């Protein structure tokens, strides 16, 4: 969850993701993700209203305080780029 609690990214064990605002009634964006030792790629579902079918690649950086940041390598989707560059913390 973003530090201000307004946005959430869920990386699920079946290699899918849900990301979006934590506002009741707003549908999250969905897609698939893959990772290497240094990067993570998010590909929006083809029928998604945001970033549909587009793939973005990010470096992931774990902070000493267990926070997670994503640094843009390349992503044609401006909406995802804007939200993914925030700092995230585990919701649990």
Angstrom distance (rounded) from CA 86 to CA 7: 9
Q: Output the pTM of the full model.
A: 0.79
Residue 72 lies in a domain: yes
Q: Is it the case that residue 41 has pLDDT exceeding 90?
A: yes
* pLDDT score recorded for residue 54: 93
Query: In this predicted model, which residue has the larger pLDDT, 18 or 4?
Result: 18
Please tell me the chain's helix, strand, coil percentages from 3-state DSSP, rounded to the nearest 5. 10, 45, 45
List all residues 6 or more positions away from 50 whose beta carbon is below 8 Å from its beta carbon. 29, 44, 77, 79, 80
Residue 47 lies in a domain: yes
For residues 23-31, give the mean pLDDT.
69
* pLDDT score recorded for residue 92: 59
The CA-to-CA distance between both ends of the chain, in Å, stands at 9
Enclosing domain of residue 60: 7-88
Residue 1 lies in a domain: no
Residue 69 lies in a domain: yes
Of 33, 42, 43, 41, residue with least CA distance to 13:
33
Residue 2 lies in a domain: no
The count of domains in the chain is 1
* Distance (Å) of CA 40 to CA 27, 33, 48, 74: 23, 7, 19, 11
């Amino acid at each position: 969850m973003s530090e201000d609690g307004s946005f959430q990214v869920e990386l699920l064990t079946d290699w899918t993701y849900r990301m979006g605002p934590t506002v009741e009634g707003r549908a999250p964006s969905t897609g698939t993700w893959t990772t290497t030792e240094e990067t993570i790629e998010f590909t929006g579902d083809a029928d998604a209203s945001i970033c549909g079918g587009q793939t973005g690649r990010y470096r992931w950086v774990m902070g000493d305080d267990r926070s997670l940041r994503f640094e843009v390598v390349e992503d044609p989707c401006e909406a995802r780029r804007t939200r993914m560059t925030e700092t995230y913390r585990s919701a649990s």
